[in-house]
Amino acid sequence: MVVMKNFTVFFLALLFVILPGCGKVKEASQLVKSVKDSVDTVQTISESVDSEDIDLDKLDISEKEVRDFYSNVKKLNSAYPEINFEVALTAALEASTQGKNLERIIEKESDMSFKEYSTLSMAFTMVLTESMSVSLAEEMVSAMEDGLAQFDDMDTSAFTEEQLAEIESQRQALIEAKKEMDTPEFKARKNRVDMVSRIREELMD
């Protein structure tokens, strides 16, 4: 997997940058072990779940799952403030810099299995990214409505055929955009985004 390869290269590069500064064999040995553990953890995450394996439109996320995940993340962040557990791959990197093993922390300190944590972390990260496209679609429709509203009471008799055709084209585009936002798929996306964002804000802030 590309993500796994990139992280492996990064960790090994980090290792070779830091190693020359180690004055003791013991320190170097500990660093090697820490980096190896980190690479192993990232590999475990990648093997457990990949973003390409998650189809949000087919993923049935319950409010309980969202609450359980962010409640655990909040508890973990409190116990290990130097690590941000919300994004699994980021947490693996930050844990490695502290000489800690993310998988062991999750299994010991949370109510989730490591696979469950990795899967939900990836899914909710994708949902929060999806929220930007939902917001953009809503803003675009609103802007189109405002832009076309100015022509409602305007005398367009002096407009050229091309100008009138462009206005009509925009009206049709607005109709299609609103139809898209009225589909079950878009409504499901919006509801999913709203639920995850609301619970995250409630539990994390």
Question: How confident is the model over 108-159, as pLDDT tens digits?
Answer: 999 999 999 999 999 999 999 888 889 999 999 999 999 999 888 889 889 9
Distances (CA, A) of 149 to 139, 144, 154, 161: 15, 8, 9, 19
For 167-185, write each residue's pLDDT tens digit: 999 999 999 999 999 999 9
Taking Cα atoms as reference points, which of 49, 203, 59, 60 lies closest to residue 113?
A: 49
Query: What pTM did the predictor assign?
Result: 0.68
